[in-house]
Amino acid sequence: MSSSSLYDDDILLWSEQQAEAIRRLGATTRNLPNELDLVHVAEDIESVGRSELAAVKSYLRLIFLHLIKLVAESGSQAAPHWHGEIVGFHSEMMERYSPSMRQRIDIGAIWRSAREQSLLTYGDTRVQLASRLPTQCPFAIDDFIAPQIDGFVLVERMGP
């Protein structure tokens, strides 16, 4: 796979490979200009991939928060808006997702964070909501890297 297509297909992996190549260049090549700050150039290139990974995790968390809203406030007039938000977050997430992120996304940790935030948000009804939300993440990463997402199906999978 050429560097340009890897850049398009998997920005995280590309950024890590490029950073490593720059580090090797700095360690093995003599007579490089002093003003060429390869250490920081490598770090900046690597941060491009980390930033995309952080964005994907953030969109997953937003999807979870909206799914929890749908459970917490079932029948709310805002439900169609929340379903639309889930689709929008998924679309944004998929534009940034790349295959090497799969093993770096701890979906259980993201679920626990979103669940805890939601329980704090719902204060007085926290105990009731806690009993309706699974403690362990009821989803797999495959549920979210599919071409389309269905909030109705995902809410059903969260239980009663």
Residue spans of the domains in the chain: they are 3-157
Q: Which superfamily does CATH assign the domain made up of 3-157 to? A: Uncharcterised protein PF01724 (1.20.1220.20)
CA 46 from chain center: how many Å?
17
pTM: 0.89
What is the DSSP code string of 86-117?
Answer: HHHHHHHHHHH--GGGGGG--HHHHHHHHHHH
Residue pair 115/68 in contact (Cβ under 8 Å)? The answer is yes
d(CA 46, CA 11) in angstroms, rounded, equals 10
Give per-residue pLDDT as tens, 106-160. Answer: 999 999 999 999 999 988 788 888 999 999 999 999 999 999 999 999 999 987 6
Radius of gyration for the chain, computed over Cα atoms and rounded to the nearest angstrom: 20
How many C-beta atoms lie closer than 10 Å to residue 142's C-beta? 9
- The angle subtended at Cα 56 by Cα 52 and Cα 59, nearest 5°, is 135
* pLDDT per position as a tens digit, 34-45: 677 888 899 999
